[in-house]
A and B are shown apart, each in its own frame.
Chain A
């Protein structure tokens, strides 16, 4: 499976450039105002704070708690999206029934869903539900597109030779769907972490990244704010790389 990495790749020099801009801005604010370092903590201060947090058990509990709910929501949503896409590909009624729902989830601001869901759910289930909701449209639509892209001539061949469904799934549908699923997963994992943490910040379930982020904001602890933001980015990227590696491994096993 080909991956487009040449464009939009992040170069170390560009990262260094923006870190220097950040450091410069922080130093300028500190020089201009008596408590300027509170307005914008420097990257060094954020890194230092991250180091302090990383050696505490509470840090890992928060990371684990958030990861469990957000990634759990992602996995559940993937499963549901693939099943419904398979049904929708076969049954027009299902496709038509789901179309307004998918369009609504895509267009309605996530914060509206978070507040609404908070009325129905307890705050601990909120990130799971919200991340699942955000992942559903891209995975469902991409898998549906992948199924539609399956080679009709191969499907006819399988029909003539009476190839059973299991072999049709692995031999024809899986190679057609995997590239679509891969790009949906890449998009969906980023989305679910953003939306999941936003849900935690609003719902404030105890022992989560979102709660720590909110506390940092309330007490004006900007180094903590940046440190936890860096953690969210790192965990999100790590999960994306891990999951895509699994998808690529599956593709490799299928000979793609």
Chain B
């Protein structure tokens, strides 16, 4: 399933943020969207996720496309622990063993029972990524997912993304290029 974006425009209070943006995010590949601050990277993802409407242009997706996302902020339920945060999104569909395996892979294996409000920024960031990767999805949007992660943790997180998104498009908004692997680059 590819995501086709054609002639997308969006302005706030008459100030254009997205100007005639067109590209295709190909299934099974990472599309890295780069631009200086304030050039509409997050707005673009918000439009794709259905949280905002574009002023004009089209986004071509299958009717029941399920998105998963890492937002710019962690957007976790601070009073719950890691597993409860995953259960909030996945409900009864949560595979406890798979979740524990991914949390361990991301270096969050020893956080059982600890509320998220006691997590460091980097831990929250990795938990938000785990949530996005465990949720069922057809396309994945990542908005600055590695902010606050050191080199090792960033590489580990990136390997988790590549290992769990096969055959589906990944849209990565970032100030820096992905650590490894092939990607398509879109500059706004």
Contact = CB atoms under 8 A, between A and B. Distances in A.
A255 B88 contact: no
B27 interface: no
A171 B51 contact: no
A76 to B, nearest CB: 30
A154 B131 CA distance: 13
B140 to A, nearest CB: 11
B53 interface: no
B158 interface: no
Interface residues of B, number: 20
For the complex of A and B, 4 pairs with smallest distance between CB atoms: A157-B75, A255-B79, A161-B89, A171-B88
Given A153-B73, A159-B51, A164 B91 contact: yes
Interface SS of chain A: helix, strand, loop or mixed?
A: helix
A94 interface: no
Interface stretch (B61-69, B95-103, B164-172): B61-69
A255 B80 contact: yes
27 contacts: A153-B71, A153-B73, A153-B75, A154-B75, A156-B51, A156-B71, A156-B75, A157-B75, A158-B89, A159-B50, A159-B51, A160-B69, A161-B135, A163-B89, A163-B91, A164-B91, A167-B91, A171-B77, A171-B80, A171-B88, A172-B77, A175-B77, A175-B79, A254-B79, A255-B79, A255-B84, A255-B115
Contacts of B50: 159-160
Nearest to B116: A255
Contact of A160 (B49, B73, B91): B49
A175 B66 CA distance: 27
A161 B77 contact: no
